[in-house]
Chain A
Amino acid sequence: MKRVGIVVMALMLMLLQVGCTSGAVDNGKVELTYWPAANPVEVQFAKEVVKEWNAKHPNIQVKMQPLPASRSTEEVLLTSIAGGTTPDVCSNINPGAIGQFVEAGGLLPIDSIDGAMEEILKRTPKETVEAFKSKDGHLYQVPWKGNPIMILYNKQHFREVGLNPDKPGLDTYSKFLAAARKLTRDTNGDGKPDIWAIAPNVEQTWWQRFFDFYPWYLAATEGKTLLKNGKADFNNPKGLQVMQFFRTLFQQKIAPQSTFKENLFVQGKVSMVITGPWALADIEKQAPKMEVGVMSIPVPDNMAGKLRITYGDPKNIAIFRSTQHPKEAWEFTKFLISKQNDVKFLKMTQQIPFRKDLAEDPSVQQYLGQKPVLDSFVRQAPYTRAIDDSDKITDVFDALSLEYQQAAVMGKKDPRKALSDAERKVNEILQRSR
């Protein structure tokens, strides 16, 4: 008797170690796993959508599980691919970072699903869809949403230094820098600034360049990305102008060398912040009284008046090849990107779905009428670029980021030399077989 007890206990413990596998079919019922991004508003959106779906589809039940709040979705997905625990559907796919997933055959080609392309093309402009196709001509991601990077500013600060808060006109580098010099101020007379014009990140972390060098470079080059024909393409006069712009900001102490991790903008300690529309919800919550304006990324002086392109920070939906129910997974995805849910998504998260007829929807028009800042982001959204589709893109940004920090932030290297060093390193990285 005793021995049986011990055996049972041991077996139970072993079962616990092995863990349980899910997603099995149970008397005709299908269970899907869906991973949305981990930020609170997106989780709330996912919760509501999944609840509605599950009520309508008793035979296809979706289990929602936010991506662990680690720093990067790619890491989580990679480890889950390695561990064989990928979800059926994930809606936080960064198009620049999936080259490798695709190469390894981890994702389902969306164009292989009956009727999927028609549905997607009805929703999203053809050029946008084309831009997300992989090298083999297949589409492995459902275009979902974008977050154009722009500059938000504190209207009160602009007023205080005599800038027009509604039309500041800081569209070129020299106008921007002149205004920034006024905005960085010592208000309590202790001899050092306590309000700064802007505070770009000073760290070498690769993705921080999505919020300084990269959008500036896209704006200055009218939309050229960093690579061309498998080689670095940024060592040019425009790249140099961008590097020198940021050097000026730090050298003239218009921007602080700050490692402060909280939101300086909502605290009224900086007048401008380079960010996407997701920041609006946060500002509304933390500084409800702040009057916020928005403007496009400035360009070199000789380019004034030209169309401005910026980084679009797109996030798409992918269906993993490991799914046992591709048809049901697509059905759920279709529901996720339906017009009803796109409108809901815009309103809940203030991020912008890739939908052509979004602005024509009367309820959206009314909503955007009350939110002029968000409206500007929606209008900027078509004029965006992603990052290059390369399986070494993080290393490319890493190399560029180090040189940027040396030249622009620290002033330890001539910007010209930094750019050519970055070009050399990036070409070395791209040539490495692996």
Chain B
Amino acid sequence: MKGKRAGYWLVLPYVVFLLVFMAYPVLFSVWLTFHDWNIVSPDIPFVGLENYERLLNDDLFFKALWNTLRFILINIPLQIGLALILAVALNQPLKGRGFFRGAYFLPVVTSGVVISFLWAWMLSTDDGLINGLLQKAGLHPVPWLTSETWAIPSIAWVAAWKNLGYYVVIFLAGLQSIPKQLYEAARIDGATPLQCFFRITIPMLNPAMLLVVILSTINGFQLFTEPYIMTGGGPANSSLSVVMYIYKNAFQSLDMGYAATIGLVLALIILSVSMIQKRLLEKDVTY
């Protein structure tokens, strides 16, 4: 009995932390979705489902959601494809392997703001490095960040470039846990390297793949820094992400209730998408 009580005391600090910094804000923001609050005002009137009604009729919210989905659809395949190729390459006994592993991880630990500044400069339309190179090669310049067509693909590329190293590390860990004898057995049976890759590596990487897909989906839905810095959400709101829209409602229009509503809906969307992904992708592969 005595030992039990000591245990409660020991977990108390963490429980208090959890209640104050996790549970309370979450419950408060759910409560906010039924209210109208402009931060400065002491009174917070109850408005029922008004915020939800407004959300269903808000074209800009759906545009931001569509922008975010477009981002995810470009960003994730790009990111996972490149990460997989790099991980397989870095898993070979190459010279200077440690250097490359570090180099690819560097952008992950660099501030997203710095990376966005850097790429905004390189992708600048009339005075950027990349268009300068394109023109030297006799090609037409591309309005990377100043056209409604290209803004999201450009941002998806920058985000993929930044996060690549993180997923490379996960894939590397996955690759190293594949038993060597599977490859040996396959080789004896006359399998080509390509067959080995698609029949052994990919299926055996399934747990890592699941983790990477879910993590990058969750990350993707929370897109903020890159468009905030590189395009300001434009042109014509074509790169406004859902989180940027939350930020705009909260801090520009001072509409906390509505911002909380979008936040809650976004959280539910992320939850359901992750569940579906888990259902579709999780397979128990053993040989």
Contacts and interface: CB of A to CB of B under 8 A. Distances in A.
A72 B127 CA distance: 28
Contacts of B93: none
B195 interface: no
Interface in A1-53: 2-3, 6-7, 9-10, 13-14, 17
A208 B145 CA distance: 17
Given A257-B143, A259-B146, A394-B252, A81 B125 contact: no
Interface stretch (B37-45, B82-90, B102-110, B174-182): B37-45
Contacts of A130: none
Interface in A210-257: 253, 256-257
Interface residues of B, number: 45
A27 to B, nearest CB: 33
Interface in A70-93: 72, 74-75, 78-79, 81-82
Interface string A100-127: 1101111000000000000000000000
Interface string A362-397: 000000000000000000000000000001101100
A203 interface: yes
B120 A257 contact: no
Contacts of B231: 203, 259
Q: How large is the interface on A (under 10, 10 to 19, 20 to 34, 35 or more residues)?
A: 35 or more
Contacts of A190: 135-136
A100 B125 contact: no
Interface in B53-89: none
A205 interface: yes
B125 A257 contact: yes
A259 B16 contact: no
A258 B234 contact: no
A395 B42 contact: no
A406 B126 CA distance: 18
A409 B235 contact: yes
A395 B40 CA distance: 17
Interface string B17-36: 10011000000000000001
B39 A78 contact: yes
B277 interface: no
Given A6-B6, A260-B121, A269-B127, A13 B13 contact: yes
A100 B124 CA distance: 37
A289 interface: no
- Which of A9, A74, A258 neighbours the largest number of chain B CB atoms within 10 Å of its CB? A258
Given A13-B13, A104-B38, A262-B121, 8 more contacts: A10-B13, A72-B251, A204-B234, A204-B235, A208-B232, A258-B127, A259-B145, A261-B121
Interface of A: 2-3, 6-7, 9-10, 13-14, 17, 72, 74-75, 78-79, 81-82, 100-101, 103-106, 190-194, 196, 202-206, 208, 253, 256-262, 264, 269, 391-392, 394-395, 398, 402, 405-406, 409-410, 412, 434
